[in-house]
């Protein structure tokens, strides 16, 4: 099942006046608390639908994966689930906003609406709220009972939920975002622009690690750095810290022949998206309710992935008939590929392939 929860300002506004109305004195976590309310409903009612309240798995991709990451670290989520699936959700090391920063952002948002207090906001229409919330960083807040410390700090301390976790990212996460930034507007990144763009975004060392000569285009070179920094290396770091205190199963979706997901297929472009962000979802679900044009090999990979995910949800261990097991997150992942591209195999080189010695920062940073 899926659940609805509040987003944007309605789900994550933090303000001094709102702090006083919360149980733990820290506002800004309303959307995440909606998720926990839904999980409590599931625990109370799942038996009526033939389910087992002791075998609930939470799963999400991208922002949904970030939600799972946050719920794993939340003490108030204790006993609401017995396993978690994080797909491309460890970006930014699952970091939440500090209470100070969240309240500062809340004050700027209220000023934009001409309000001096949350009471004033209650007189604004939903249309006004939605128009004003653009450009702000909405997300969970640390400091209260819901999230006392940053998720990675909780993971390192062994203070997070000790449940099995299936975690991973896609090989070419950054290509979607780089395409949106450059090529989608008809302005592909050029070789002349590349050094300055890389230095501005990632620094001189990144420019040295990602020489333009090693990639088919400047956009893909930039996308590789972006994907490694934002998604791949944080996911691998999450594997490492979770494995120190519990069971984690690590994967990387690496089908570079995968068709672009639904909203990209109608674009008039020959851009090579590879195994980019979101592309694995259509191997597990009917994405957006639409048919995905998988070829015969991709359909086989899709069935294998459904078996891995399905068995993890069923009994906490991902398995697929005739396929290798997923590693436990210590220096290795299961690379998911079609047969002609090597098939599913355990990779011990993912950290070096994604330049993680450059990108993996301590979770406190």
CB neighbours (10 Å) of residue 346?
A: 14
Q: Let me know if 173 is a catalytic residue.
A: yes
Selecting among 62, 104, 311, 353, the annotated active-site residue is 62
Taking the alpha carbons of 277, 278, 281, 282 in that order, is the dihedral positive or negative?
negative
CB neighbours (10 Å) of residue 111?
A: 11
Selecting among 173, 217, 335, 347, the annotated active-site residue is 173
Exposure letters 124-155 (e unless 16+ CB within 10 A, then b): beeeebeebbeebebbbbbbbebbbbbbbbbb
CB neighbours (10 Å) of residue 31?
A: 20
Active-site residue list: 62, 173
């Amino acid at each position: 099942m899926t659940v609805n929860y509040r987003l944007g300002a309605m789900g994550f506004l933090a303000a001094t006046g709102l702090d006083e109305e919360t149980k733990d004195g820290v506002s800004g976590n309303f959307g995440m608390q909606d998720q926990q309310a839904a999980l409590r409903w599931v625990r109370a009612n799942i038996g009526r639908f033939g389910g087992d309240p002791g075998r609930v798995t939470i799963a999400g991709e991208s922002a949904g994966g970030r939600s799972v990451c946050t719920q794993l670290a939340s003490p108030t989520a204790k006993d609401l689930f017995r396993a978690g699936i994080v797909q491309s959700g460890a970006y930014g090391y699952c970091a939440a906003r500090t209470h100070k920063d969240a309240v500062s952002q809340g004050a700027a948002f209220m000023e934009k609406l001409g309000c001096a207090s949350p009471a004033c906001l209650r007189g604004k229409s939903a249309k006004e709220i939605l128009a004003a919330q653009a450009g702000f960083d909405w997300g969970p807040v640390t400091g209260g009972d819901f999230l006392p410390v940053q998720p990675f700090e909780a993971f390192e301390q062994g203070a997070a939920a000790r449940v099995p976790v299936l975690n991973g990212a896609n090989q070419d996460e950054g290509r979607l975002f780089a395409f949106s930034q450059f090529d989608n507007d008809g302005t592909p990144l050029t070789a002349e622009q590349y050094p300055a763009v890389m230095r501005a975004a990632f620094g001189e060392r990144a420019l040295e690690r990602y020489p333009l000569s090693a990639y088919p285009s400047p956009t893909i070179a930039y996308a590789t750095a972006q994907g490694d920094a934002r998604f791949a290396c944080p996911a691998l770091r999450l594997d490492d810290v979770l494995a120190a205190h519990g069971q984690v199963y690590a994967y990387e979706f690496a089908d570079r022949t995968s068709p672009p997901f639904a909203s990209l297929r109608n674009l008039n472009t020959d851009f090579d998206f590879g195994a980019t962000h979101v592309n694995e979802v259509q191997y597990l679900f009917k994405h957006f309710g639409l048919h995905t044009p998988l070829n015969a090999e991709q359909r086989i990979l899709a069935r294998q992935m459904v078996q891995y995910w399905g068995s993890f949800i069923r009994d906490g261990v991902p398995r697929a008939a005739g396929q290798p097991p997923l590693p436990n997150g210590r220096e290795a992942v299961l690379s998911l590929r079609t047969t002609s591209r090597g098939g599913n195999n355990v990779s011990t080189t993912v950290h070096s392939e994604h330049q993680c010695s450059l990108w993996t920062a301590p979770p406190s940073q």
